[in-house]
Structure 1
Amino acid sequence: MASNKRNCFSKHAKRTALSLALGACFIGGVHAQSNTAGAIAGRASAGDTITITSPSTGFTRTVTVGADGTFRFSALPTGQYTVTSSAGGSRNVAVNVGTAANADFVSAVASGGGATTLDAVQVVGTGFINPIDVTSVESNTILTAEQIAKIPVPRDTTSVALLAPGTVRGDAAFGNLASFGGASVAENQYFINGFNITNSFRSLNFSQVPFEAIAEQQIKTGGYGAEFGRSLGGVVNQVTKRGTNEFHAGANIFYTPESLTANTDNIYLRNGTLRQDNSRDEGWAATAAVWASGALIKDTLFAYALLQYGKTENDAWGNVLSPNNTNTKVKNPNWLLKMDWRINDSNLLELTAFSDKQKTDIDTYVNPLGQVAREDYIGTLKNEQGGENYVLKYTGYFTDNLTFSALAGHGEFSRAQKLITADGQNISYSGDLNQTLGGCPFILDVRPVYRRDITGAYYSRCNVAAGALLQRDDSKDTRDQFRIDVDWQLGDHLLKFGYDLDDYESVAGQANEGGLLWRYSTIDPTPLLPASGDEFDVVRQQTTTSGAVLEVKQRAFYIQDSWNVTDTFIAYLGLRWDTFENINGSGQSYVKIDNQFGPRLGFSWDVNGDSTFKLFGNAGRYALPLTPSVALRGASASVFTRRTWNFTGVDPVTGEPVLGTPRNNISYLNGEDGRGKDPLTIASKNLDPQYQDEYILGFQAALTQNLSLGMRGIYRELKAAIDDNCDYTAIMDANGLTPDEDGVWRNADGRAANIPGPGFPYCRMFNPGEDAVFVTDLYGDGNYVTNTIEGSRLSPKAKRTYSALEIFVDGSWDKFFLQGSYTYAKSKGNTEGGVKSDIGQADTNVTQDFDYIELTENTFGYLPNDRRHSFKLFGNYEISDEWSVGGNLLVQSGRPYNCLGVLDRDPNREPGDPPSQPRPIGTYNPHPYGASFMRCNNVPVPRGTAGRLPWTTNFDLNIAYRPSFAEGLQFKVDVFNLFDTQKTIGVNEVAEDPVSGLPVETYLSAAALQAPRTVRFMVQYDF
């Protein structure tokens, strides 16, 4: 039994230690616990009856102490409980999510001596943030709503998760997301009351529950049990507030005024030229909420309801290199309802329903290039995000030792877009591949600098979406989840097993505003000579259109056992089997992985037998499925065309060319010609899921009655990755085809390959570095050939390791609590994982990392989420009954950056020689991926060796006032980034022009800075 034989202190411990030992067994993570509930366990005399009662809801359960002197109450709703024994005595304990609270009535000597009855003292948990839990083998942090409210921290899930050891903020290109243990930001899972709220389309978003409704947030950074899966990073598990017999209501408002927000520092190019003038940027935010909770039927039916409305506005003027600037308004009309029905003491039913809908309007204005000005209004891009979620959960206490729970949930998440032009046109994309959108196309001018200086840069003065592909107007994601979990106490074994079904559907698609992208470039007829005036410009027409309904079906079965080998030693064994199936827009399965095995092992040793010193360790394997987004263009019907034209002029408003003669016919790239893809040819037939192994070893010790110290070492190794490879020549070589003078691949008999074609895709899913088994309809005649391509022909093996040492302290006194950690970590490899922070590529699972083997050269090194040193310290001090002050300090070393340049194959240029000035297109033989290589000035610059960003320091402070004359009233001021330090946290890593190969002045210009100082005011009233 995982927790039954734990005693907080031996009979030799002082009673004050028993009362003040920070509830050494009161709060902490236990593998055997539910992701929505907790447990109470302890020791008492055999045959005694133990009763627990929730003072707030009247919930009561009674069990009989077993012959071994242990008892346990599983799957309990979180909250305060009174535990009483028929032999006398009582305990008050706090049950937190995923924890086992301890309530011993006898104490066993670690050496094996007889049990001693404890006095009938009342033990109350002290709110210690992360105390010693000798039943747990996982890396776990729990923060309650009360604790979060006392800390100066932004009110969002990610900001709270970043307080935990081993978490760092991800690249700004992906939004407000965290990296856990070196994994990419696309490898985490998020839950609310047991329901998965991860937006799995790209795994770069999740449902945002109204934050006022959060009762507890659990952050699992490693070692989590077999009931959790589909994550290589971390798990964020939230529990909402709920109603009680006592009526409560309240309201608050949070306001961040524009007048007290510091300006973001200006950004300059390497030559000192102003790139971004932020002096006129402005912004404010406000959120108001009202809530009420209580019993609709006393002791039986309870409700908690909340309405919340938030609004933010940001004015962004500054990019002098952009033809437009924007004003952004965000509205969040959100709500939540939590209902609990205690049918009787053996059967509970709960409903969670919430909406996190968000509407964003981005008004776009003309900005003259090279200036900071706001001219004509162009139009508005309208975005919808979020949706409604409904979760029903049943818990049945069938016997003293057997608990059953079942959960069913449905969630929707909108990603819809449309735009409205200044003249009132309503432009949206329906997902029809033949639809051509109205509006202005995007203009891209990639001509060499010297050509742009001669003719001026070409750009659009009417493009609303600023080059982004417009998402279809019905884009959304739907999740239907069902799971059952069973807890069974069997002697010294606490068994848990369950089944999880998760069906995810994505309606997706995108198209160019105006239907086209125009790309201007330069041709040099005499490429081996210096620029001589014979160069001329051309323009390329490009269309990108997609639209499909995609699915991912996920199934998992797990079983785990927490075994009390002795009174002081727990062994944990967990087994998990995951099945992943991805379905394309035609309803065809193109990837299916059955019964991926994920074992989990662990131990916890209560060395002194009194919960004052714990050794623990674990090892586990964790797997990750493919995201649905992979199939949008890679496995479903889509259109991607290009055609190059001569032109005679350029429209000064739209930037479109006045076309002359075409230079070639329309070409369909990547096999995207509007026909469906052949599911047999999309992925390697021996594809493994992305998975990694993890090992953790650590200890935690009570230094005093109020302070504990812990340390753990962590090692993670990526064993297999999934990405795409676009070098189709491997298939040609394997079948003896060679290109003719026109570039057509033919066999020895002159028969041409069907490329591109539905059965012969350019890019295919594979495990980098592993042998791939590809199926191809080589000639488009329905006859398939199967080739095994050696891994070394396509790419090196995907590698990513994370090694870290975490030191953490927890302390709690009468008026003061703190938590701190120091992490020394290294994240090293040749792939970040699902995304690519080097260039802000958010195409989860299909980054350019392994598209061609040339792209893998010099890529092994320190990865973007490598923050070598992280020091975190936060807490709160109660100055008096009316006043308190809180602080939050983060000191962190900078991430590595790279020097990305072109792959120059000019035989007349030695490595290190500077390029000619000017250097027009054609003086070298560029790779089509342009400046995507770990080399600059024709010299390798291995990953992470170009330099590191500076250390950053961020200190937040708050002060709260609760006037004694008005009970329930509270005022609070939070100051974020008190000293307004604005160090660079992200830079442009592209060092060379992708066309000419010349150095660019934007290299190392700041892409992101620390957020400037802001001040947030709060007024709250509870009654």
Structure 2
Amino acid sequence: MGSNYLSKGIKRTALSLALGACFVGGVSAQSNSAGAINGTAGAGDTITIVSPDTGFTRTISASADGSYRFSALPTGKYKVTRNGADGTSSSRDIVVSVGTAANVDFVRAAADGSANTLDAVTVVGTNAINPIDVSSVESTTILTAEQIAKIPVPRDITGVALLAPGTIKGDAAFGNLASFGGSSVSENQYYVNGFNITNTFKNLNFAQIPFEAIAEQQIKTGGYGAEFGRSTGGVINLITKRGSNDFHAGGNIFWEPESLKETTPNLVYNNGRLVSDNSKDNGWAATASVWASGALIKDKLFGYALLQYGKTDDAGYPGSLSGGKNTQSEQKSPSWLVKLDWNINDNNLLELTAFSDKRKTDTAYYYTNFAENSVKPERGTYVGTLHEEDGGENYALKYTGYLTDSFTLTALAGHGEFSRSNHAIQADGSRISYDGNLNSVVGGCPIVRDQRPSDRRDATGIYSGCDFATSLNRADAKDTRDQFRIDAEWLLGSHVVKFGYDLDDFETVDGTAYSGNYYYQYLYHATAAQDYVRRINIRQGAEVKVEQRAFYVEDTWNITDNFLVYGGLRWDSFENKNGAGETYVKIDNQFAPRLGFSWDVNGDSSFKIFGNAGRYALPLTANVAVRGASASLYEFQDFTFTGVDPVTGAPLGTAPCELRNCYTEPFYANGEYGGAKNPNSIASTNLKPMYQDEYILGFQAQLTDHLSAGVRGIYRELKRAIDDTCDYRPIVDWAVNNGFTEDDVFGGLGNPSFPYCRLYNPGSDGVWNIDVNGDGTIENVRIAAGELGPKAKRTYSALEFFWEGAWDKFFLQGSYTYGKSKGNTEGGVKSDIGQGDTGTTQDFDYPELAIGSFGYLPNDRRHTLKMFGNWDITDEWSVGGNLLVQSGRPLNCFGVYGEDPVHYRNSYFSCDLGDPNGVDNGSTVVPRGTAGRMAWTTTFDMNVAYRPSFAEGLTFKVDVFNLFNSDKPTSVDEEGENSVGNPSVRNETYLTPLYWQAPRTVRFMVQYDF
């Protein structure tokens, strides 16, 4: 399907649906921030479009074959008028949406080749569905602000994106993000009015424009053209509201009261131990917005401005009967957006988009007390407060020039900033912060976690000590983007040729360190029957850059009046730089071809067959350089101990540990000892971008004037991935085979030219420039792919059934997706364990970690049913609903493999299937996804709106989310053994919930718009 629309659509008769507003002859190459109008008229006729909102006017002449096209148009309503050479004229009203071509045909070729005028067709009639977009080969859903307001849906970009077919919500460990077509949540791109707002640090965030300011949201789930790149998932394209000649203003308030909010279930371990009492969790949220728009100069200069302020207040009581901490969190979100549009003249437009999305969150921590003979948690002594700041300001200036009737040029320049710093204040008023210096003292209490079996823990329970800030970001951490792009469109007869170039520079200041300098893990060695403690110190800090360039060209060729072919070519170049400004990865001209077709079978937009094939590449994110290519520290050492500090939880009476798997001397994991790294040794010299091939074939049919439906088959295959390997054993083998000794190599492990972890394409040979013995001479080391581990594999196959219906006072849209996601890597992140180190997961660190790794992936949700709609009961009352039914994700059983050959503890696809009480009977491989599946989840949301007739513009609305308060887990603990291979953990924590469905909440709204 080209475009799914939610609205009731343009009102038309059945005849006008088939002829007057059909999309025959349209093209799929559309701007990422504008739309188009095209169609047929008489040769030499003049066609004029006028925006009734802004007075914007353009006039062009139809070509010799009668075709015409208005490119790069601002979205909105237009009147299209044909003036014939014979003095006749006729008009149509049309709506232009982002990324689509709205067609108005005034003349249609008859079977004998003569021209039939369609002047008698008028755009009036009943509330029919939108015509099938035969001009597009993409899989796209477009939702307008009016449509979104009718559905009970969260007021955020991801919430709306999840309405589209083929999207599912990603693991909660990564925040509120969507997975598209089996890809990881780190593989998407986000735009506002053509400006890229994706946070390229990890690709796990994006700038948040005030939700009230969104006019349209376009969700591209597949088949998108060469104009879009740097994505192997999906694209979310936002268009903001803008001013017009008419003055408009208004305001609204949204409120989610604490008294009507349910809580998640208590977390109880399998042995009956209460770990988190959530019965007292509570909180409220409120958001207020005011806006105004209008003409600063009539027909010339227009403005839209919005100011929004949000506040949330949440209390949480995690912690067991034996201790823990509870929190009181407050977030303040002042944001604003300004949109200016200057119609310099009919041929030149200039627009400015500016917005801010800064947020401040203060979380106060308290010890948790339990009253005598009570299991209800109570707030105890104040520990300290964590202060977090994120967000920033973004500015984008865009020019559109209609240089001739057939040539259009657009240019955009933008700048964006995003801060993400934090610091903490302890109860005594002292400050805890990190400045990025690897040798600096952070201050505060060390992180302490007791990971021993329950019968070995002391009175402090699973959490101990006085830490609360845990990992700290640099105080000056932020991301900066500078983007410039230029796009041109040239109409050449039956061809629409489009080409462009974009430059996208992204700079990151980042660094993290542990509060109190250290992280202590209390562990138990079952074989030796001995407690011990591991002390870990991880620090990093750098200023790194990603420089991205791309060029594309595409052609949409209308071979006949009802058959078009699309072809696109894209070349991407990426350059990643470390903290010293040195290039460690540079890839030029990654080639990504695209091909598609659309066949309007009956010639009246009633039945469409479409298909496409494309290649999509993904660059390396900035976070890789902060730790992997810049100076970093990863030190740990094991000790026995005689006691525990009652305040800090730190071990007392420590002594070097001599047990199996203990490190008696400081061990610098991955060779991270605080020294600079040689940038030429970080990445394989033959490194290429991650890329995926995609194939889609489908059809869509108009069943009645009010109902359309379709189906598409989708197949995606990850052809190449980027990840890191930390296995130095093949390097040692190469060295020995080339005249070095093992002592030579191990003497060189402490030099910056011998990084333990190195980037490569899993499944390809690794070729690194390494000083293997630390003598200052660089050796070119080639390691065969088979020695490094398996090839990265991921496939996604799906059938998507979708439908849309619209009647006089009722609309309904939905989809059912049957999909499979299979492979040995999820992609950029690892939902199995919540690992968000984009591009450097542990999947391919050592070949042993890949044993049993092939199977169904975390985003394999086999069945997904979505249904949403709205019914206008009367002119004043309406009711909406939103249903999601989804099967659960596959489960794993992680444990220790054999004798833990690479010291990754319980990170293998291996579990002891013997005595559940802890007798070590040896590990058995449990292949990925074969430990069962989570339960199905059902969520139903509804709303009721009242628009009193006595006060035009006034609306009251109540949304109830998760009406039936379904509380199934959405992710669980998949560790079937503890860190030393003791399977008794299965009886205690295995498959206990980590996250649940969001509990029932009620949201009230009052809005006045005039």
TM over 0.5: yes
Paired residue type of 2:754:
F
Q: 1:129–1:787: structure 2 CA closer, same or farther, 3 Å change rule?
A: farther
State the alpha-carbon separation in 1 of the partners of residues 864 and 509 from structure 2.
40
Instruction: Describe the superposition over 1:428-479 as per-residue Cα deviations: whole angstroms up to 9, x where unpaired.
Output: 11111111111100113334544336x87585442122xx311111110000
Residue 547 in structure 1 maps to residue 541 in structure 2 = yes
**1:415 counterpart SS class:** strand
Equivalent position of 2:477 in the other structure: 475
Partner of 1:918: none
Between the aligned partners of 1:748 and 1:862, the Cα distance in structure 2 is: 40
CA distance in 1 between counterparts of 2:671 and 2:607 reads 62
| Structure 2 counterpart of 1:43, one-letter code | T
Cα gap change, 1:935 to 1:671, in 2 (>3 Å): closer
**What is the Cα deviation at residue 387 of structure 1?**
0.5
* Separation in structure 1 between the aligned mates of residue 340 and residue 287 of structure 2, nearest angstrom: 24
Number of matched pairs: 975
2:515 maps to 1:513: yes
- State the alpha-carbon separation in 2 of the partners of residues 199 and 487 from structure 1: 29
Q: Aligned residue for 2:174?
A: 174
1:101 aligns with 2:105: no
Contact residue 129 and residue 142 of structure 1 kept, 8 A: no
How far residue 940 of structure 1 moved from its aligned partner, in angstroms, is 1.9
Alignment of 1:18 with 2:43, yes or no, is no
**Structure 1 residue 683 corresponds to structure 2 residue 668:** no
The structure-2 alpha-carbon separation of the partners of 1:28 and 1:721, relative to structure 1 and needing over 3 Å to count, comes to farther
Cα pair distance change 1:802/1:126, threshold 3 Å: farther
Deviations along 1:33-69, one digit per CA (max 9) or x if unpaired, are 1011000001111111010000110000000011111
Q: Counterpart amino acid of 2:954?
A: L
* Cα shift at 1:814: 2.3
Aligned amino acid, residue 404 of structure 1: L
State the TM-score, normalizing by the size of structure 2: 0.94
Q: How many angstroms apart in 2 are the aligned matches of 1:24 and 1:808?
A: 22
**Sequence identity (%):** 65
AA aligned to 2:625 is A
| 1:346 equivalent in structure 2 | 347
Q: Judging changes above 3 Å, is the alpha-carbon distance between structure 1 residues 178 and 130 closer, same or farther for their aligned structure 2 residues?
A: farther
Do the aligned residues in 1 keep the contact of 2:447 with 2:465 (CA within 8 Å)?
A: no
What is residue 468 of structure 2 aligned with on the other side?
A: 464
Contact 1:382 1:419 in 2 (8 A): yes
Aligned match of 1:913: none
Shift of 1:542: 2.3
Please report how far the alpha carbon of residue 790 of structure 1 lies from its aligned counterpart in structure 2 after TM superposition. 1.1
**C-alpha deviations, 1:208-231, integer Å up to 9, x for none?**
110000000000000000000000
For 1:518 and 1:182, the matched residues in 2 are separated by 37
Secondary structure at 1:254's aligned position in 2?
A: strand
Q: List aligned pairs for 1:480-559, cutoff 5 A.
A: 480-522=482-524, 527=527, 535-559=529-553
Distance 1:943 1:546 in 2: 32
**Contact 2:20/2:122, CA 8 A, preserved across alignment:** no
For residues 315 and 481 of structure 2, what CA distance do their matches in structure 1 show?
35
Aligned to 2:264: 264
Partner of 2:795: 801
Structure 1 window deviating more from structure 2 (845-854 vs 541-550): it is 541-550
Alpha carbons 1:366, 1:461 under 8 Å: kept: no
Structure 2 match to 1:366: 367
1:233-252 aligned within 5 A:
233-252=233-252
Q: How far apart, in 2, do the equivalents of 1:995 and 1:243 lie? A: 64
Residue 119 of structure 1: CA displacement?
Answer: 2.5
Which 5+ residue runs of structure 2 have no aligned equivalent?
4-10, 658-663, 913-922
- Is 1:570 aligned with 2:571? no
- Counterpart in the other structure of 1:615: 609
Distance 1:125 1:672 in 2: 70
Matches of 1:179 and 1:840, distance apart in 2: 15
Q: Using the alignment, how far apart are the partners of 2:193 and 2:749 within structure 1?
A: 50
* Equivalent residue number for residue 955 of structure 1: 940
Tell me how far 1:658 sits from its aligned partner: 2.7
Structure 1 residue 385 corresponds to structure 2 residue 379: no
Q: 1:829 aligns with which of 823, 826, 846?
A: 823
Partner residue, 2:36: 39
Please list the CA deviations of residues 181-231 of structure 1 after superposition, one character each: whole Å capped at 9, or x if unmatched: 000000000000000101111111111110000000000000000000000
Are residue 934 (structure 1) and residue 939 (structure 2) matched?
no
DSSP 3-state at the match of 1:403: strand
CA gap of 1:510–1:371, structure 2 versus 1, over 3 A, is farther
Relative to structure 1, the CA distance from residue 428 to residue 991 in structure 2 (aligned partners, 3 Å threshold; closer, same or farther) is same
Offset, 1:491: 0.6
Contact kept? 1:22, 1:125, Cα under 8 Å: no
Q: CA deviation at 1:392?
A: 0.2
Sort the Cα spacing of 1:837 and 1:448 in 2 relative to 1 into closer, same or farther, 3 A.
same
User: Take 1:884 and 1:27, find their aligned partners in 2: how far apart are those partners?
Assistant: 35
Distance 1:421 1:451 in 2: 30
- In 2, the alpha carbon distance for the partners of 1:440 and 1:397 equals 63
**1:393/1:868 CA distance change after superposition, 3 Å:** same
Rate the CA distance shift 1:126–1:685 in 2: closer, same or farther, 3 A. farther
Structure 2 counterpart of 1:54, which letter? Answer: S
Matches within 5 A, 1:175-190: 175-190=175-190
Secondary structure at 1:846 match in 2? coil
- Output the amino acid matched with 1:896: P
Q: Secondary structure at the match of 2:187?
A: coil
Alignment check: 8 A CA contact 1:746 1:753 kept: no
Structure 1 position 1007 matched with structure 2 position 994:
yes
Contact residue 188 and residue 233 of structure 2 kept, 8 A: yes
Q: Which amino acid aligns with 2:929?
A: G
Q: Which moved more, 1:658-667 or 1:618-627?
A: 658-667
The answer to whether the 8 Å contact 1:760/1:778 transfers is: yes
Structure 2 counterpart of 1:780: 774
**Structure 2 residue 754 is matched with structure 1 residue 760:** yes
Q: Which amino acid aligns with 1:420?
A: I
Tell me the C-alpha RMSD between the 2 structures: 2.2
Structure 2 letter corresponding to 1:1019: V
Residue of structure 2 aligned with 1:980, choices 954, 965, 970: 965
TM-score (norm 1): 0.92
Q: What does residue 840 of structure 2 align with?
A: 846
Preserved CA contact (<8 Å) 1:36 1:194? yes
CA distance in 2, matches of 1:748, 1:652: 46
Number of the residue aligned with 2:448: 443
Tell me whether 1:721 sits opposite 2:696 in the alignment.
no
Contact kept in structure 2, 1:546 and 1:632, CA below 8 Å: yes
Whole-angstrom CA distance in 2 between matches of 1:376 and 1:423: 12
CA contact (8 A) 1:26 1:125 kept: no
Output one character per residue of 1:561-597: Cα deviation in whole Å (capped at 9) or x when no partner: 0001111110100000000111000100001111000
Q: Distance in 2 between matches of 1:802 and 1:114?
A: 48
Opposite residue 123 of structure 2, the aligned amino acid is V
Counterpart of 1:911 in structure 2 is: none
Distance change in 2, residues 1:115/1:901 (3 Å) = same
Question: CA contact under 8 A between 1:29 and 1:98: conserved in structure 2?
Answer: no
Question: Are the aligned partners of 2:869 and 2:881 in contact in 1 as well (CA < 8 Å)?
Answer: yes
Unaligned runs of 5+ in 1: 4-13, 739-744, 906-924
Deviations 1:906-928 (A, max 9, x none): xxxxxxxxxxxxxxxxxxx6651
Letter in 1 for 2:1009: D
Instruction: Give 1:517 deviation, angstroms.
Output: 1.6
SS at match of 1:514: coil
Name the residue aligned to 1:402. 407
1:736 is paired with a residue whose SS is helix
Q: Matches of 1:873 and 1:21 in 2, distance apart?
A: 27
Give the structure 2 partner of residue 915 of structure 1.
none
